[in-house]
Chain A
Amino acid sequence: MLKIVTISITLLLTIFILSLIICIVTQTNLHILLTSIASEEIRFAIKLSLLTSVISTLMCIMVSIPASYALARYNFPGKTLINTIVDLPLALPPLVAGVGLLLLFGTTSFGNWLADAGLEFIFTPLGIIIAQFAVNISFMLRILRSTFEGISPRYEYVAQTLGCTPAQAFFRTTLPMSKNGLMAGGIITWSKGIGEFGAALMVAGATRMKTETLPISLYLNMSCGDLDMAIAAATILIIISFISLYIFERRGGIFHLY
């Protein structure tokens, strides 16, 4: 009985999820889909999405490697509090993070100073990158922190006695041994970056052919009733999700996100 009930609920859930996807991809036919994808606007959105998500993912990796290493390996005052704070974006609604970014870069002297230096974040593609970074950094940090925690520091000790400086020991042992964690974290961060909407909308706005990523394109075209274009953007996002989920499962099924 228990078996039948639980399996039935699982099946219903599967059908529910599948029907969402089927509804989207059957909304249009292949010809219209391909034409829409080939349109200048969607091609721009694809390019902008790829560019921003790749850059923000690289930024997440560059910051997460040292930060998660410090959190995994060292004890320092305030570590518990810092651990909680750096995890905060996981629970924070992206819209709220976006408002924070808008205020930080748009109203403070720090923001003005950056803008004067040529780094203008408000209503620009740079804003999209910083929004993706702010929302996704905690995911990367969590995955890498648990990866580093799972690797005994003694590998580095041995490497140090064999002639490495502490930094060389890290780059020659712990880092290459973290390959799976890095891949899994990179893929999940990248695919979340591609789909990032709320925070990016707040900071960079939704300007056609300027800050128009795939999710922004979906939103813009839905609001003005251009269903074909909206479906094209949605279909591409679905394909990206499938691919990244597949790679994530293959590479990092062993890592716990939460």
Chain B
Amino acid sequence: MIRIENVSKDLGEFKLDDVSLHVNEGEYFIILGPTGAGKTILIETIAGIYRPDCGRIFLNGIDVMDLPPKDRSISMVYQDYMLFPHLTVEKNIGFGLRYQNITSSETEAEVNEIADLLGVSHLLNRYPGTLSGGEQQRIAIARAVVTKPKVLLLDEPLSALDNRTTERLREELGKIHRLTETTTIHVTHSFEEAFSLGDRIAVMRDGQIIQVGAPDYVFRKPNSEFIADFVGVENLFRGKSVVHDGISEVHADGICMLSSTLKSGDVSISVRPEDIFISKKEIDSSARNSFSGNIMEVKDMGALVRLVVDVGIPFVVALTKRSYEDLELAYGTRVHIAFKASATHLF
């Protein structure tokens, strides 16, 4: 669908350095990286705002290097919405329809339909300046998808919003993607967004793509210290959750974990390594999650020791060197691990 071959672009402050990427039709593709990594220039270059200094970009096999943005069938949503302040919400959403060969009543119908889908129908006559961040971003998304683009580019679409709004909009982005099946490239610095939305992830740093792969793969097998640090999360699993009796039961890779965060359906669950108890004896405590397995890996980190325990899925456990020695643990030792339902993070 989108093929980027050896694209470089130097804008002084930001740059792309020999970027190659392939995004499949209908895919939700995440570009993950810290501020200044060149993520925004990459999608602006895909949109045709910048012409690469070298390299090529193909859309559906067609070289689009000489195609202006308007002819690429690509829509863009920015972090700070970029709604046109001098136009009503209705005019904002309908902005791109003006350039398609449709009647004004069709335009109205399309605007109403997408406004309904995003829950902004009641705002059509308002001006953007009077709306909340969440409302503005919904309208920006509506404006981008109403033209039925082949590719949707999202530049940190959730970063300017508060936590609750972010979570709701994240789910809606997933919903819109399932509904429209539009090839989507979503730029973010949040691993949560990447993990919960992405079919695949590309990690970017200093204008270069340093790893591409499925979220699980990138998080489990970061190919560099930088990615491991940047991702910063261990014990992250995807699974299905069912809520009953006021607790979420999450099934992931054959094991069942309990979480006090209530959420059902497809979820991601994480536990911090330092929140996991470890013992050679069966653990009898209030912790609702209890598993046993062998120590597969021991890593001395100075004051801390980092263990990987295989209980069917690998759990990373962190403990002080002192406890490690007191417990007489070693590579291959059979151990029990446990953590509280409240120590899990579900999203």
A residues contacting B by CB (< 8 A) are 152, 154-155, 157-166, 172-173, 176-177, 179
Contacts and interface: CB of A to CB of B under 8 A. Distances in A.
Interface stretch (B96-104, B178-186, B307-315): B96-104
Interface string B59-84: 00000000011101011101010101
B98 A157 contact: no
Given A154-B78, A155-B84, A159-B95, A165 B100 contact: no
A59 to B, nearest CB: 26
Contacts of B144: 161
B75 A157 contact: no
A165 B68 contact: yes
9 contacts: A155-B84, A157-B76, A161-B48, A161-B72, A161-B96, A161-B144, A164-B70, A164-B99, A166-B68
Interface residues of B, number: 27
B143 A162 contact: yes
Q: Which of B68, B72, B143 has the most CB of A within 10 A?
A: B68
Contact of A177 (B72, B78, B86, B147): B86
B96 A163 contact: yes
B85 interface: yes
Contacts of B47: 157, 160-161
B21 interface: no
A162 B147 contact: yes
A160 B72 CA distance: 10
Nearest to B75: A161
Contacts of B96: 161-163
B90 to A, nearest CB: 15
Contacts of A159: 84, 95
A157 B86 contact: no
A8 B17 CA distance: 63
A152 B100 contact: no
A75 B78 CA distance: 24
A24 to B, nearest CB: 41
Interface in B249-287: none
A74 to B, nearest CB: 13
A155 B99 contact: no
A155 B100 CA distance: 20
Q: By CB atoms of chain A within 10 A, which of B49, B74, B147, B153 has the most? A: B49
Contacts of A172: 84, 95
A27 B89 CA distance: 56
Interface in B167-203: none
A157 B44 contact: yes
Given A161-B153, A162-B75, 19 more contacts: A154-B78, A154-B82, A155-B84, A157-B49, A157-B69, A157-B82, A158-B76, A158-B143, A161-B69, A161-B70, A161-B96, A161-B144, A163-B96, A163-B100, A164-B99, A165-B70, A172-B95, A176-B86, A179-B86
B95 A162 contact: yes
B82 A158 contact: yes
Contacts of A154: 78, 82
Contacts of B143: 158, 162
A166 B47 CA distance: 13
Contacts of B84: 155, 159, 172-173, 177
Contacts of A163: 70, 96, 98-100, 147
Contacts of B78: 154, 158
A161 B76 contact: yes
Contacts of A161: 47-48, 69-70, 72, 74-76, 96, 144, 149, 153
A158 B47 CA distance: 9
By Cβ-Cβ distance, the 3 closest A-B pairs, closest first, are A163-B99, A162-B96, A160-B69
Contacts of B98: 163
